[in-house]
Amino acid sequence: MKSSDTVHRRRMRLGVTAAAAITALTAGLIGAVSANAASEGCEVEYQVTGQWSGGFNANVQVTNLGDPVNHWDLEWTWADDQAVTHMWNAKDKSKAATAKASGQGHNGALATGGTTSFGFSGSWSDANTDPTDFRLNGRLCDGTVSEPQQPMTAIEQVAAMQPGWNVGNSLDAFGGDTGGETAWGNPPITEELLQTIKAEGYNSIRLPVAWDYEHTGPGPDYTISSERMERVAQVVDWAIANDLQVLVNIHDQMFTKELPDDRENVLAKFNSMWTQIAERFKDYPSELSFESINEPQFPTDTANQDAHTATLNVNFYETVRATGGKNADRLLVLPTWVTNSEQPHLDALKATIDELDDDMIAATVHFYGFYPFGVNVAGVTTYDEETRQDLENTFQRTNDTFVDNGVPVIVGEWGVLGYDYTRGAVPNSPQYGELLKFFQATTHQAVEEQLTLMLWDAGSYLNRHTLEWRDPLLKAYMDSGFTTLSGTASFDSIYLEKAGTIADESLTLNRNGLDFEGLWQGDTALTEGTDYTVSGDTVTLTAAALTRLAGDRAYGTNATIEARFSDGLPWQIHIISYDTAQISDLTGTLDGAPWSQWWACNSSCFAIPTEFNGDQIATMEAKYADGTNAGPHTWTAFKELWATYRPDYDAGTISLTPDFFNEVRDDEPVTLTFHFWGGGTIEYIVTKTGTTVTGTNA
């Protein structure tokens, strides 16, 4: 190499033969995922303008040979561990061995034949070989121009969005002490967040947006603030630049609820908002799609809820299409009433779509599983047959109504209603292994029925402060369902009473078409015949093996073993030692909690001191002395976790909430029966007199 005091100049014009074709799932901004045909091509001139020991300067000129692009990213890889240290006239988005420059406001768009330049300083050590492959928005810059691709159909575009992720509780947040985007506990959306989502295997995001409240002015214009519009545009730009499709909606339901009683004003506001949104984004590529309204609902006229939903959907459709540009054939997504998937509501939306007679329309529903399972109520604590049938029936009828008739479906939100990282009982609602089964089965069933899933994540799955998954194992089961249905077992825990004699314990395998390959503890295989036996789908761990695994039998998990199969993820089985829990008598008062106490107990809950002794609560029953059900959800004796009772294993308490006592009659004892995963039950009697509560062991 040249010495440090010698100016080193070299010029290189890139004209490399194209590599493998870019697929629909990995294409760039105007790549194979685009529903609008576009020609693509580019060339790059790379020039090292100065070099010294350990560093150099370079200039890069980019020429767009294809159709105009609204935003560009240029990527290249280093051969000798060079790195960009500073960049000008472009935004540096480099990572490790991959360098990436992104256009800025003044040079972010490139017309056909348009050229722009940027420079950077870099570092090198042993060598400084020139890069050879540059890619503009994912397309190899080899000096050629590709022929326009055929537009994607709605079915193809929605399929390319699988899987998707909701940026929940961010741009849909409002109010609060901090206001706006951070009001509900999440940090502001960053490009790094979206890059993380892409790297984790997601191909699209749903961007819920609250346009109303402090962001929209009064009628008759209902002007959306420029700050809100440009913030949404910034996030959309980041997503598209990082190969994510984007679904933007109006997430405000409050003003549209008034449609039955104030039709003229509601539609004036709704249409004005969509006109402004559509005009702002009319020239965006087809990677951006629009969703009419989130979960439309009309409490004052439930008899005509499907008709009111159709009114909003048709107004949305006609308003957006009328703005022209790329909105003329952009994918538009229409919901059922409250995104419900019952057959009458599916049929009503199908009728609307048939009347519109447009090939670029998709339907959307939401799915949070069988309600008693999702919130742990009515004693449904496992992924049982009723929960499985609910999943399969919901997805099958949605497929039969839409997909089989050429209309793609986006499940715009899915998950488990009771899964919330702020709750100390999660993942205890329902039992953890049963959650894993549900998440895997949902993704698997979506693939079977050709539905695109978008996980609702308000911060419970991906920690947006650290950009790490809160529960990597649950994420792995979600991912597994898209490709391989991993094997499981009837339960994920074996409970051994600490003071009891250890006996053989059996589990039933759910092979899911796979071969069982044995039990392991870490890297050590357990010995069949000595540590366990297999008879059909029944695996029995011997008393000797369980005694060894339990060790000193301290309370809680003593060991974790794995059932391994011929494919997919191994199934974890936890060996747990426990004793019967001990609940203390207590007299206390309630503070007359406000409505918000469903999410925060503070001093308004009746917190019963409890020694859990390694066990955990599965569910709780509540009955009066005459056998009738007490508390909320009077149709069942089994109460809803967190809404009515909250175990805190670290603090050693079981808290009964104001919502529970608000539905309990004064001076009438209520017998609570706590069911534990170890198999035991404890009865406890509570009596409310005004704001005073007494609790005693039965």
Question: So which residues are the catalytic ones?
Answer: 295, 413
Give the integer Cα–Cα distance in Å for 3 and 51. Answer: 8
Identify the CA nearest to 89 among candidates 78, 77, 102: 102
Q: Which ranges of 161-262 would DSSP assign to H, the alpha helix?
A: 191-199, 226-241
Residue located via tokens 């406001």: 105
Helices and strands, number each (H, E), in the chain: 12, 39
**DSSP element (H, E) containing 482:** helix 472-483
How buried is 514 (Cβ within 10 angstroms: 0-12 exposed, 13-18 middle, 19+ buried)? middle
Give the integer Cα–Cα distance in Å for 427 and 424. Answer: 8
Residue pair 576/505 in contact (Cβ under 8 Å)? The answer is no
Residue pair 285/70 in contact (Cβ under 8 Å)? The answer is yes
What single-letter DSSP state applies at residue 492? S
How buried is 14 (Cβ within 10 angstroms: 0-12 exposed, 13-18 middle, 19+ buried)? buried
Residue pair 647/376 in contact (Cβ under 8 Å)? The answer is no
**Cβ atoms < 10 Å from Cβ of 347:** 13
Q: Which amino acid is at 334?
A: L
Q: What is the CA radius of gyration of the chain?
A: 29
In the chain, how long is the greatest CA-to-CA distance? 97
Q: Which ranges of 258-342 would DSSP assign to H, the alpha helix?
A: 263-280, 305-322
* DSSP letters for 97-148: TEEEEE--TTTS-B-TT-EEEEEEEEE-SS--PPP--EEETTEE-SS-EEPP
Q: Which amino acid is at 314?
A: V
Residue pair 27/133 in contact (Cβ under 8 Å)? The answer is no
Identify the CA nearest to 668 among candidates 651, 685, 680, 656: 685
Give the integer Cα–Cα distance in Å for 44 and 474. Answer: 44
Give the integer Cα–Cα distance in Å for 56 and 2. Answer: 11
Q: Which amino acid is at 179?
A: G
Residue pair 563/487 in contact (Cβ under 8 Å)? The answer is yes
- Residue 212 CA: distances (Å) to CA of 230, 255, 408, 412: 15, 8, 29, 21
**The pair of three-digit structure tokens given for residue 7, joined into one six-digit string:** 């100016």
Residue pair 203/32 in contact (Cβ under 8 Å)? The answer is no
Give the integer Cα–Cα distance in Å for 15 and 133. Answer: 9
3-state secondary structure of 294: coil
CB-based contacts of 188, cutoff 8 Å, min separation 6: 170, 181, 182
Residue pair 42/82 in contact (Cβ under 8 Å)? The answer is no
Residue pair 44/61 in contact (Cβ under 8 Å)? The answer is yes
**The pair of three-digit structure tokens given for residue 647, joined into one six-digit string:** 């175990």
3-state secondary structure of 22: coil
Give the integer Cα–Cα distance in Å for 448 and 475. Answer: 19
**The pair of three-digit structure tokens given for residue 8, joined into one six-digit string:** 């080193």
